[in-house]
Structure 1
Amino acid sequence: MIVNTAGGITGGDRYTLQASAHGGTSLTLTTQAAERAYRAQAGEVGHVSTRLSVASGARLHWLPQELILFENCALKRQLEVTLADAAEFLMVEPVVFGRTAMAETLHDIRFNDRIKIMRNGCPLYLDGMDLVGNAAAHIARAGIANGANAMASLVWVSHSAASELNILRKMLPPTAGASLIAEDVLVIRHLASDSFALRRDLIPVLDHLTNNSLPISWRL
């Protein structure tokens, strides 16, 4: 369990995490609570860099809790994952666009997010998001998030991915979808009205994929 002793990220902060799962091991990484990206001073950007590697025959679960974006935040985040053959990997990255209970609206933010998963030097999954300026206006558009205030990306790399696709689809709400982008790579995109609804829907899916070993910090 990773603890952010600063309590949140603001402009100028730099956080780096590196972790490896060696052959025959199983590693689960999560956070004690939701991460927060706070207001940044003009010209300052917070940086978060995570590098994970999984050896052949090993399994790694990257299960951080929600990242909550605050008004005037400036954050650049990067996740890089290197997998060997026969490595299993599960990740979820939930993002919340302001706290609904506090009636927060994001009119001016800078959020740059990149995810790269490689296996033997070849890309399995590449993803990027850039939200600059009035995020509330962007996510209100039907073709982007249709007003959803929270989202999650889930990637599961496993030899069981194809056989679980229909099971997982039945567990998802209408605002989420699951697809195979390779024979052993399953991706879920999930939109929700707020962080509570997102977590409520994600927990059964994560419980299923982790064989009911989801960290206790993820419970409602």
Structure 2
Amino acid sequence: MFDAKIQTPAAVEMQRSRGAARAAFSGARLTGLHQSGSAKAILPRVPGAAEVVFLNTSGGLASGDRLSYKTDLEDGAKLVATTQAAERAYRADGGQAQVEVHHNVGAGCHLDWLPQETILFDRAKLARDTTISLAVDASCLMLEAVVLGRIAMGERVQDLQFFDMRRIDRAGKPVFFEPFLLNSNILAKGARSAVLGEARAFATLVLCQQGAEDAVEPLRAVLDEPGVEGAASGFDGKCVIRLLARDGWPMRRQILRLFNTLRRGEAAPRVWQI
């Protein structure tokens, strides 16, 4: 029996998560709701603009996962869309996880797309594509915030594949287009000022609406959170804010202060409140 051939077990194929959630609004009325797989859309009752909170029930993104969020606004709808918690991209043993976000903002409508931070763990592989399509007179506020590991847990991110495409179109023409790549080769170059320096958390906020340039000076006046480096610029109906921080916590506090200015004193979504 000692001469019997040992059978090598076949590689185990891990189960992958799939999720898609969509919410549609006409004015203040919900006109469509779809959710499948791990993606859910929660509709809290809040005063003012309608609100939708997207949730990934799988608990995070791993190799081969697919996630999609979408909203459609028409007839002057005003919507705040956010996520229930920080999204996490875990170590990937195979292919990349993929996230697609698409918002259609119709005539006279406004969208605040304010997802909570994306936390990238070591050896994560994530490709994300975010597109906001605006009608001629529509407007939006978009946030993307990323944290490389959790400093409080002693985590360091050295091996990574992260590609993030961010687009805002108006009447089919691009007004903001930003492909972002961060991978192991870039991280291996160390703390270079042309990349992230010593920062391990970074964010971009973009306001697209008529007169958005007027927000630049008020925003610069509140870019003084300790531990956060920030800058704001505005032109041609856009205002863009960039943030760098060594940790996600001070960056989150800075973002909340910027919300107060960008959203004219309206309270941040409850899931964002400290």
TM-score range, shorter chain: over 0.9
Give the alignment's TM-score, normalised by structure 2: 0.76
* Aligned residue number for residue 201 of structure 1: 254
Pair 53,68 (structure 1): closer, same or farther in 2 beyond 3 Å: same
* Aligned residue number for residue 143 of structure 2: 92
* C-alpha distance in structure 1 between counterparts of 2:59 and 2:139, whole Å: 31
| Structure 1: runs of 5+ lacking an equivalent | none
Matched, 1:60 2:111: yes
Cα offset for 1:3? 1.2
Matched, 1:187 2:240: yes
Q: Report the AA paired with residue 209 of structure 1.
A: L
Contact 1:114 1:129 in 2 (8 A): yes
* C-alpha distance in structure 2 between counterparts of 1:23 and 1:172, whole Å: 35
User: Which stretch shifts more, 54-63 or 164-173?
Assistant: 164-173
Q: Deviations over 1:31-51 (max 9, x none)?
A: 111000001113x11000011
Cα offset for 1:23? 2.4
Q: Flag as ranges the 4+ runs of structure 1 deviating above 2 A.
A: 134-139
* Aligned residue number for residue 35 of structure 1: 87
* Aligned residue number for residue 10 of structure 1: 62
* C-alpha distance in structure 2 between counterparts of 1:189 and 1:139, whole Å: 21
* C-alpha distance in structure 1 between counterparts of 2:190 and 2:108, whole Å: 40
* C-alpha distance in structure 1 between counterparts of 2:177 and 2:147, whole Å: 21
Relative CO higher for 1 or 2, CA cutoff 8 Å, sep ≥ 6?
Answer: 1
Compute the RMSD of aligned alpha carbons: 1.4
The partner residue of 1:121 within 161, 164, 172 is 172
Cα offset for 1:93? 0.5
* C-alpha distance in structure 1 between counterparts of 2:86 and 2:66, whole Å: 17
The count of aligned residue pairs is: 218
Pair 138,161 (structure 1): closer, same or farther in 2 beyond 3 Å: farther
More helix by share: 1
Contact 1:47 1:76 in 2 (8 A): yes
Matched, 1:165 2:165: no
* C-alpha distance in structure 2 between counterparts of 1:171 and 1:23, whole Å: 34
* C-alpha distance in structure 1 between counterparts of 2:271 and 2:67, whole Å: 21
* C-alpha distance in structure 2 between counterparts of 1:213 and 1:24, whole Å: 21
| Partner SS for 2:56 | coil
* Aligned residue number for residue 219 of structure 1: 273
Cα offset for 1:138? 4.7
Cα offset for 1:137? 3.7
Cα offset for 1:81? 1.1
Give the alignment's TM-score, normalised by structure 1: 0.94
Matched, 1:110 2:161: yes
Contact 1:110 1:132 in 2 (8 A): yes
* Aligned residue number for residue 200 of structure 2: 149
